[in-house]
Amino acid sequence: MLMEIVGIIIVLMALRTLVSQGRTERLLYLNAMSFGISALIALYIQTPFGAIIAITFFVTSTISSNAIAYSIGKVKNEIILDN
């Protein structure tokens, strides 16, 4: 039952990602999707190796989300000069 609930949340976040207008909103929903996917991995593979895979996916998706957010923040702070 728990896997189905997490799956529904992931599908809802995917739909909100498609509908959202802003880049930062999309990043938020993609981040929530990646957390849900790592939870599904941990729930589906109920072994210590499954936990290692889920932790690895969680950490790498968090690092990539932080890198994207940092890049978006840097781009917003740039001053564009039109010649």
Sign of CA dihedral 63, 66, 70, 76: positive
| pLDDT tens digits, 5-38 | 989 999 999 999 899 888 778 888 888 888 888 8
pTM, two decimals, is: 0.70
**Where do the domains of the chain lie?**
2-77
Position 74 confidence tier, pLDDT thresholds 50, 70, 90: confident
